[in-house]
Structure 1
Amino acid sequence: MPQGTRIEHDLLGEKEVPADAYYGVHTVRAVENFAITGSAIAQFPDLIASLAAVKEAAATANLELGLLAPDLAEAIITACQEIGRGRHSDQFVVDPVQGGAGTSTNMNANEVIANRALEILGHPRGSYEVIHPLDHVNLGQSTNDVYPTAVRLALVTSLRRLVDSQAVLAGTFTAKAAEFGAVLKIGRTQLQDAVPMTLGQEFTTYAVMIEEDRQRLTEAASLLLEANLGGTAIGTGINGHPRYAELACAHLTRISGEPVRPAGDFIEATQDCGAFVQLSGVLKRVAVKLSKTCNDLRLISSGPTAGLGEIVLPPVQAGSSIMPGKVNPVIPEVVNQVAFEVIGNDLTVTMAAEAGQLQLNAFEPVIAYSLLRSLTHLRAACDTLATRCIPGITANREHLHDSVHRSIGLVTALAPHIGYTASTTLAGQALATGRTIKDLAAEAGLLTVDQLDTILRPENLTGHPSRNTVAVPP
């Protein structure tokens, strides 16, 4: 045996394992077999912590049921708690995209926990006659209930962080809306002048959209907290104690702080990926709306002289290697790209969920990989937008003022008083001559100056229609 290795055995035979590794033979084979993403499951700390929480809950339940000796259970629990605190993360080395419905991830966890528990008890790594990765760490379990439960818990943890980041982002939009509350601008439909509004109203809508999505994500989290833990292979609970599922979920709730509950039908829960599809759809919704918001920011900041130029985004870096002085909207652009990725991930989740067969979906690893990346990247996008862009936005107030008073969109406010036909004629004259709607209407004697001043008062232009009625003599 070469120096620095140990020999372990599995059903395929012998395999060299690094002597100082907590992982074992099953993990080594998985690393060789699945060199797909160039990364390891350690890139998702929430998944590692969730795996440790599930294994700790299982060991505690088995101890309580008298199925696991106290000294072995305590060592396993201690190892799990260390992993849950972030220790030994470098030992979780299997690729997140893997064949086997997550077996390699489960075995990686079983082996790390077993070898660390052996070390705690004073035994060398690989002494599986004392603590075995399967007989003890995986007691009463299957990959088919451990892996999806850990994935669900990891998704909820990551989802909570995204929701928190969305709250901060919504707050930055709300603060900016208050700052811009009295700044008039022209609203647009189909990129054409519509009717006046305030820049504050425009920014308020972005905060409202984010808050709506936060609610939808919270709803999706509830669906994820139904676990098939205790269902073992296909949901029948074979090789499991009758009380194990109830106890394991109760301990997992205590350990994780999340209200994990046993599924109503374990066979259904083992094969059903509906909660993943639901979450993916909500994440796509978040991405689409966030990208639309960033499209708006790029559009109304376009220029600075040949575009709309209504707002100015904070300059964060030089924009061109050939055009001096150019500054690009790079923060909204990077958020757009995250959105494109999330939308693509949704298709991956959809196809993987649809491809499940009979009592198990073998493609949950790519579902987990896609969803965890979407959650992680959306959170980073929200944080970036909230810190590097929104607070530094300024309004081009003079330009906005001029564009409102030049816009033919003002004629819409006059239509209830002078009629649609007269308003259309007035709009055409304004467009042809470049004169304002107000001046032309007064000159034509359609309304008095005082009446025009009242009708075109900012609060009458941007408030609720019921507040826009002005008494005009026939």
Structure 2
Amino acid sequence: MNFRTEKDSLGPRKVPADAYYGVQTVRALENFQITGIPVSHFTRLIQALACVKKAAALANMELGLLPDDICDAIVQAARDVREGRLDEHFPVDVIQGGAGTSVNMNANEVICNRALEIIGAERGDYSRIHPNNHVNLSQSTNDVYPTALKIALIWYCQDLLKEMEALVASLRAKGEEFADVIKMGRTQLQDAVPMTLGQEFAAYSVTVGEDISRLREAITLLRESNMGATAIGTGINTVEGYAEAVCRYLADVTGLDIVPAENLVEATSDTGVFVHVSGILKRISVKLSKICNDLRLLSSGPFTGFHEINLPPMQPGSSIMPGKVNPVIPEAVNQVCYQVIGNDVTVTMAAEAGQLELNVFEPIIAFNLFQSVDMLARAAFMLRKRCIDGITANRERCAALVRMSVGAVTALAPYIGYEAAAALAKESECTGRALIDLVVEQGHMSRDEAQKVLDPLTMTRPKPGAMRD
């Protein structure tokens, strides 16, 4: 391998001659061999960094701080980065010390060397265009990294929103398909009162839909940028008007409504928005996992469980038990949800550990948030495509369980009283006799009256109210 020599404040280092990154990226590769996952794995982050560097160059040129020709080269290089042409040159581990400095310098070096190439210079010829003096002009890792993190997170969350909306539509469609399937509702895993399978699935669509609204609200909080803060929020090494200009360009470059933070010192030290987003992702996970728990219960059996629904068979379920098919898709989603819940704990602890004017733990916050939102989007797609869309109802099984249950006795309470209804339930359970026969024999109601009251369909909705004159 051929090398070129670059140097920084710590001394010289060999850099692969064909690399667009430089000496500080090499040091990061030596220092941080942790996850084996490079930042390029999260392509949205690389795209966001490119947007930040382009916006900064344009703002610096507008304010007379950056020559037009250098700005043009940086803008073209940033475009190449955003289009994914240089992803392999972002090898820094997603977890590193330095509050994201290694990632920021990786971006500075790649864009700088590509810009040098654009103007006909050699990579590493920093006398022409410099990673710090030009690409990082008016910037610090402490405003670049969190801003790029927020932009990337918005894009990832938008991907998740699309999958959640599709999942809601699928659940709603099942609610309509199963609207006439009478079954027993259950509380505490015990028979409760009749409902329809459609009501159960419609409820799932609503509970996921609620979190679509919550996630959209969280995205609006991510639009606030601390660009122009530089090191700690005081704006050192910038000029008046830069913060507003860079956010204006950033909004134009990304198509997002990026706005400057009201207080740059606060915005540089506070990571509360990441805690909030992580909390929403945890909430989504808790709900999705609960739905998957229900699907596994409702499909359990087929002969010794509830077996009210059939999940589409995806693969043989056992290496030793022929014919066994397991609910592998809900199980996989459960595990994704557990991971996201664990990630939320990490984000919480990292945000709490911030000190004074900066939180140095944003790399682990970024890693966990990106992983969580990406896994949830994939899990929502998998759950919809490979499970929900193919669910069928065991109508006869549902009806048989309703007939066998004494849960319908609840409907008698308003007519014969709670104690009499409880006594009937106990007698029916002990003797195995039908409720309707006991009600008629004991003189509580005529058979016609009992049939109307104990009709399972009437129990799935409120009784008509008494009309007042």
* TM-score, scaled relative to structure 1: 0.97
Distance of 1:458 and 1:121 partners within structure 2: 78
Q: Secondary structure at the match of 2:183?
A: strand
Distance of 1:262 and 1:195 partners within structure 2: 54
Q: Secondary structure at the match of 2:84?
A: coil
2:108 maps to: 110
Q: Would you say 1:27 and 2:19 are equivalent positions?
A: no
Letter in 2 for 1:467: P
Q: Would you say 1:168 and 2:166 are equivalent positions?
A: yes
Distance of 1:31 and 1:441 partners within structure 2: 79
1:472 maps to: none
Counterpart among 447, 450, 463 of residue 449 in structure 1: 447
Distance of 2:179 and 2:465 partners within structure 1: 18
Counterpart among 403, 407, 410 of residue 408 in structure 2: 410
User: Does the 8 A contact of 1:234 with 1:267 survive in 2?
Assistant: yes
Q: Secondary structure at the match of 1:348?
A: helix
Q: Secondary structure at the match of 1:174?
A: helix
Distance of 1:9 and 1:276 partners within structure 2: 36
User: Does the 8 A contact of 1:406 with 1:435 survive in 2?
Assistant: no
Q: Secondary structure at the match of 1:7?
A: strand
Q: Secondary structure at the match of 1:467?
A: coil
**1:97-135 alpha-carbon deviations (Å, 9 max, x no partner):** 000000000000000000011111111111111010000
Deviates more, 1:434-443 or 1:185-194: 434-443
1:423-434 to structure 2, matched below 5 A, reads 423-434=421-432
Distance of 2:211 and 2:104 partners within structure 1: 33
Distance of 1:451 and 1:468 partners within structure 2: 18
1:151-300 to structure 2, matched below 5 A, reads 151-300=149-298
- Offset of residue 17 of structure 1: 0.5
1:422 maps to: 420
Counterpart among 363, 366, 375 of residue 364 in structure 2: 366
Letter in 2 for 1:208: V
User: Does the 8 A contact of 1:34 with 1:97 survive in 2?
Assistant: yes
Counterpart among 393, 404, 413 of residue 395 in structure 1: 393
Letter in 2 for 1:223: L
- Offset of residue 458 of structure 1: 3.7
User: Does the 8 A contact of 2:32 with 2:93 survive in 1?
Assistant: yes
1:339-354 to structure 2, matched below 5 A, reads 339-354=337-352
Q: Secondary structure at the match of 2:167?
A: helix
Distance of 1:28 and 1:467 partners within structure 2: 75
User: Does the 8 A contact of 1:455 with 1:468 survive in 2?
Assistant: no
User: Does the 8 A contact of 1:460 with 1:467 survive in 2?
Assistant: no
Letter in 1 for 2:464: R
Distance of 1:409 and 1:99 partners within structure 2: 60
- Offset of residue 257 of structure 1: 1.1
Instruction: Identify unmatched segments of 5+ residues in structure 1.
Output: 470-474
- Offset of residue 456 of structure 1: 2.4
User: Does the 8 A contact of 2:195 with 2:457 survive in 1?
Assistant: no
Distance of 1:294 and 1:398 partners within structure 2: 23
- Offset of residue 435 of structure 1: 2.3
- Offset of residue 278 of structure 1: 0.5
Letter in 1 for 2:375: H
Distance of 1:411 and 1:467 partners within structure 2: 19
Deviates more, 1:177-186 or 1:440-449: 440-449
Letter in 2 for 1:124: E
Q: Would you say 1:467 and 2:464 are equivalent positions?
A: yes
Distance of 1:436 and 1:76 partners within structure 2: 81
User: Does the 8 A contact of 2:48 with 2:148 survive in 1?
Assistant: yes
- Offset of residue 292 of structure 1: 0.5
Matched residue count: 467
Aligned structure 1 segments of 4 or more residues deviating by more than 6 angstroms = none
- Offset of residue 467 of structure 1: 2.8
User: Does the 8 A contact of 1:22 with 1:91 survive in 2?
Assistant: yes
- Offset of residue 468 of structure 1: 7.9
Letter in 2 for 1:57: A
- Offset of residue 432 of structure 1: 1.0
Letter in 2 for 1:351: M
Deviates more, 1:226-235 or 1:427-436: 427-436
* TM-score, scaled relative to structure 2: 0.98
**1:418-471 alpha-carbon deviations (Å, 9 max, x no partner):** 11111111101111122222222123232112112222234421012x4388xx
2:88 maps to: 90
Distance of 2:157 and 2:151 partners within structure 1: 10
Distance of 2:379 and 2:441 partners within structure 1: 53
Distance of 2:257 and 2:311 partners within structure 1: 42
Distance of 2:276 and 2:226 partners within structure 1: 18
Letter in 2 for 1:415: A
Counterpart among 58, 77, 80 of residue 79 in structure 1: 77
Instruction: Identify unmatched segments of 5+ residues in structure 2.
Output: none
User: Does the 8 A contact of 1:407 with 1:436 survive in 2?
Assistant: no
1:8-19 to structure 2, matched below 5 A, reads 8-19=6-17
- Offset of residue 162 of structure 1: 0.5
Deviates more, 1:445-454 or 1:180-189: 445-454
User: Does the 8 A contact of 2:151 with 2:223 survive in 1?
Assistant: yes
Letter in 1 for 2:95: V
- Offset of residue 81 of structure 1: 1.1
User: Does the 8 A contact of 1:460 with 1:468 survive in 2?
Assistant: no
**1:51-86 alpha-carbon deviations (Å, 9 max, x no partner):** 000001001101111111111101100111111122
Q: Secondary structure at the match of 2:444?
A: coil
Q: Secondary structure at the match of 2:7?
A: strand
Q: Secondary structure at the match of 2:209?
A: helix
Deviates more, 1:353-362 or 1:216-225: 216-225
**1:323-364 alpha-carbon deviations (Å, 9 max, x no partner):** 000000000000000000000000000100010000000000
Q: CA RMSD in A?
A: 1.2
Letter in 2 for 1:128: Y
User: Does the 8 A contact of 1:170 with 1:211 survive in 2?
Assistant: yes
Letter in 1 for 2:389: P
Distance of 1:98 and 1:21 partners within structure 2: 21
2:312 maps to: 314
Distance of 2:43 and 2:91 partners within structure 1: 12
